[in-house]
Structure 1
Amino acid sequence: MSLAFLFPGQGSQAVGMGSDLAEAFAPAREVFQEVDEALGQNLSRLMRDGPEDLLTLTENAQPALMAVSVAVMRTLEREFGVGVDRAAFVAGHSLGEYSALAAAGAISVADTARLLKLRGQAMQRAVPVGEGAMASLIGPKSDVALAEAAAAAGSAVGVCVVANDNNQGNVVISGAKAAVDLAIEKAKELGARAILLNVSAPFHCPLMQPAADEMAEALAGAVILAPRTPLVANVTARPTLDPEAIRRMLVEQVTGRVRWRESMLWLVEDGGVTRFAEAGAGKVLSGMAKRIAPDAEAVPLNAPADLEAFARSL
């Protein structure tokens, strides 16, 4: 049985995430302390106690989600003897790619926390609040072709692109507010439902270029090693162990499409993966995995009991 670890992205955060791990396991507490020290911020208290609006801020949500994911992985390794190298591949959704790289030893936890804090701040700075938007196109007819047609219609009045190809029935568009509004109307004409997302900026579109430039500068000075397990990257939907390719693709993914459906299909069809374990907050990626690859097993690893059961099952 071939295994891949998945790492969730923004939107999976919730007040209280990671608290039971920290209470149960010293390795989880160590990760949260490392992140707090790296940021000079009591992020672990914000994760535990809220308030929710502060935790949801991009600059806090991104390092917080990474902290929970790495806490899961470090606990699995130290307490249950299950290291990241038990998996054939790792993959993370958007910011989750950083979590995957930290878990696989490619970037230190402290550096990852600082990079994600900057990434969140840079994304927020790139586009003034209210000028950009994202929308999820959902329903049986919602696929990449429909989303691209809707985005093309929106592009008549501004930037509008497909941002996240999550799975059949769930594709996200992103861009200037007026363009996304127009794209929503087109998507509805084509038979999809459309929901404006409650996000602070239009992620994964060309409007994020200022943030990509900031990340290029920051990543140029970051130490990136070959991961212990190959990373299936968002922008290529293919595996890599090359630190310089990873450095480049982390910049590209700020403005580029998250090719999640393609990544999952590659993992199953070419990578031979039959089991997915979602390390971190929530279970969004486990749900996507079951829709994309219904014959594969997908389990979320959130609570102490999840980790124990998963380790016993290997």
Structure 2
Amino acid sequence: MMVKRALLFPGQGSQYVGMGKDLFIKYPIAKETFQEANDAMNVDLTKLMFEGGITELTRTEYAQPAILAVGMAMFRVYKEVVGTDINYMTGHSLGEITALTCAGSIPFASAIRIVHRRGELMREAAAIGGGAMAAVNELGVSEVEAICASVSSIHKGGAEIVVVSNINSEDQVVISGHKGALSEAAERLTKRGAIVIPLQVSAPFHSPLMAPAAVQFAEELSKYTFSPLQYPVISSVTAKLYASSDEIAKVLTEQLTAPVQWVAVLQYLRENGVSEAAELGPRTVLKKLAHHTAGMKVFAFDHGPDAEQLLSESKVAKEEYPLDFIIQCVSIATCTRNRNWDSEAYAKGVITPYRNVQKMLYQLQQSGDQVTWAHMEQAYAMLLSVLKTKQVPEVEQLSRLERLLAEYGLQENFGQRSPIGVLNS
């Protein structure tokens, strides 16, 4: 029976000085990733991550791109070394942007710039003051929500609010709001037996008070075009799969004011058969939050023993895949009639991915290296992009793809990326 796997990406707060340094030393692909991040920001982000200090690294406009860069580096290493199937991706707050980037919808350099701007907007909101956040432990979410609603309805005639902003686990939620309302809610929650821990932030993230920053972030996102998703991604806002990349700007904007539904995300994974997950990013935050999720084992890439177990799959589970499959993908892409005369769209959706796969195929043929699952997925993603961009009728697309997968017995392998779902994106 095939094991279903998910990749989890953490959010802000997981940063620390030295993060990613081992990857940088051991893996050329990680070193390249960090250099891409440096170039995208025009800042020596790598030096800041490796040498600190922690005060500057913790500044939200630096912490967010740094965490994203580590997540992307780990993802590329994971794909290069392990190459096993990935059924779902998801991320906690900022981590959702990392997931969308690893799923191919946001170019890495663009993602670095997006989260840098996101961090600036959050810092500016923090500078305004008047807001606070606190972690609430040992009390159920429904009771916390009820107390927050009660306080918001009476505090200063409703002029101040406090809301649940993160549902992290069965025994931990985070609340955000005006300082006065939050303080009163904390007192009531403590009387009910909760352990309330103020967080060292000065803005109420994931609450309605972030609406001005959300408006500006929406303007920033409007500058970008998002590509079709190459893997299923679950939003931490809706706890549902993205239906298409068209939803990205809207959902990421909502994320600044809406609560993080992490418990619902983990529930979705379990209900859909995921039994293993890898946390890709600094520290082990998401592994700890998943300790109540029965039937799902989470390995944290930043934890030495876990990383060894994840990477050992390359020795015991890696299969040899057929080079002919890649050749067939290239052949179908070449022979398919084009119905799209938009030169810009054609260059992006056909020429670029086709040339990348053609180069990959040539290198494999010359080197004689083993074909990995990452190679297979790149070829298949290219073919999907070409068929869609060339505006091949959907019935014809489905027929071609079904025949191809059936010929190589790969229906189950690509089952989580249904051609219909991709084509409608």
Worse overlay, 221-230 or 13-22 = 221-230
Matches within 5 A, 1:102-181: 102-128=101-127, 130-139=129-138, 142-155=139-152, 156-157=154-155, 158-181=160-183
Give me the whole-angstrom Cα distance separating, in 2, the residues matched to 1:153 and 1:15. Answer: 41
Shift of 1:150: 2.5
Say if 1:305 and 1:296 are closer, same or farther in 2 by CA, change over 3 A: closer
Of the three residues 58, 61, 64, the one matched with 2:60 is: 58
Worse overlay, 184-193 or 273-282 = 184-193
Shift of 1:147: 1.6
Moved over 6 A (4+): none
Count the aligned residue pairs.
307
Question: Relative CO higher for 1 or 2, CA cutoff 8 Å, sep ≥ 6?
Answer: 1
Give me the whole-angstrom Cα distance separating, in 1, the residues matched to 2:308 and 2:126. Answer: 43
Matches within 5 A, 1:37-56: 37-56=39-58
Matches within 5 A, 1:231-242: 231-242=233-244
Worse overlay, 57-66 or 232-241 = 232-241
Tell me if the contact between 1:126 and 1:209 (Cα under 8 Å) persists in the aligned partners.
Answer: no
Partner of 1:229: 231
Give me the whole-angstrom Cα distance separating, in 1, the residues matched to 2:168 and 2:259. Answer: 10
Give me the whole-angstrom Cα distance separating, in 2, the residues matched to 1:309 and 1:168. Answer: 28
Give me the whole-angstrom Cα distance separating, in 2, the residues matched to 1:162 and 1:11. Answer: 18
Give me the whole-angstrom Cα distance separating, in 1, the residues matched to 2:19 and 2:151. Answer: 37
Counterpart residue identity of residue 150, structure 1: I
Structure 1 vs Structure 2: percent identity of aligned residues? 39
Worse overlay, 151-160 or 174-183 = 151-160
Tell me if the contact between 1:274 and 1:295 (Cα under 8 Å) persists in the aligned partners.
Answer: yes
Tell me if the contact between 2:162 and 2:182 (Cα under 8 Å) persists in the aligned partners.
Answer: yes
SS at match of 1:105: coil
Counterpart residue identity of residue 230, structure 2: R
Worse overlay, 256-265 or 183-192 = 183-192
Partner of 1:283: 284
Shift of 1:39: 0.6
Worse overlay, 222-231 or 145-154 = 145-154
Say if 1:17 and 1:189 are closer, same or farther in 2 by CA, change over 3 A: same
Higher helix share: 2
Shift of 1:190: 2.0
| TM-score after normalising by structure 1 | 0.94
Which digits, 9 at most, give the CA deviation of each residue in 1:269-307, with x for residues without a partner? 1x211111101101010111122x132111001267754
SS at match of 1:9: coil
Worse overlay, 164-173 or 193-202 = 193-202
Worse overlay, 234-243 or 115-124 = 234-243
Give me the whole-angstrom Cα distance separating, in 1, the residues matched to 2:228 and 2:99. Answer: 12
Give me the whole-angstrom Cα distance separating, in 2, the residues matched to 1:5 and 1:180. Answer: 34
Give me the whole-angstrom Cα distance separating, in 1, the residues matched to 2:246 and 2:288. Answer: 32
Shift of 1:189: 2.1
Partner of 1:273: 274
Give me the whole-angstrom Cα distance separating, in 1, the residues matched to 2:72 and 2:16. Answer: 16
Shift of 1:130: 4.0
Tell me if the contact between 1:76 and 1:307 (Cα under 8 Å) persists in the aligned partners.
Answer: no
Give me the whole-angstrom Cα distance separating, in 1, the residues matched to 2:284 and 2:144. Answer: 25
Give me the whole-angstrom Cα distance separating, in 1, the residues matched to 2:231 and 2:104. Answer: 9
Which digits, 9 at most, give the CA deviation of each residue in 1:236-275, with x for residues without a partner? 1011241111221011001101000011011101x21111
Which digits, 9 at most, give the CA deviation of each residue in 1:183-211, with x for residues without a partner? 10111122211010112421100111111
Counterpart residue identity of residue 301, structure 1: F
Q: Any stretches of 5+ residues in structure 2 without a counterpart?
A: 318-425
Tell me if the contact between 1:154 and 1:181 (Cα under 8 Å) persists in the aligned partners.
Answer: no
Matched, 1:69 2:71: yes
Counterpart residue identity of residue 41, structure 2: L
Counterpart residue identity of residue 106, structure 1: S
Higher strand share: 1
Partner of 2:352: none
Counterpart residue identity of residue 281, structure 1: P
Give me the whole-angstrom Cα distance separating, in 1, the residues matched to 2:297 and 2:126. Answer: 39
Shift of 1:87: 1.3
Which digits, 9 at most, give the CA deviation of each residue in 1:78-123, with x for residues without a partner? 3x1526xx21110100000011111111101111111101101111
Partner of 1:91: 90
SS at match of 1:240: coil
Worse overlay, 47-56 or 302-311 = 302-311
Shift of 1:154: 3.2
Partner of 1:195: 197
Say if 1:304 and 1:74 are closer, same or farther in 2 by CA, change over 3 A: farther
Matches within 5 A, 1:204-215: 204-215=206-217
Give me the whole-angstrom Cα distance separating, in 2, the residues matched to 1:56 and 1:294. Answer: 33
Partner of 2:38: 36
SS at match of 2:127: coil
State the structure with more CA Rg.
2
Give me the whole-angstrom Cα distance separating, in 1, the residues matched to 2:216 and 2:252. Answer: 12
Give me the whole-angstrom Cα distance separating, in 1, the residues matched to 2:22 and 2:128. Answer: 35
Tell me if the contact between 2:287 and 2:299 (Cα under 8 Å) persists in the aligned partners.
Answer: yes
Partner of 1:309: 309
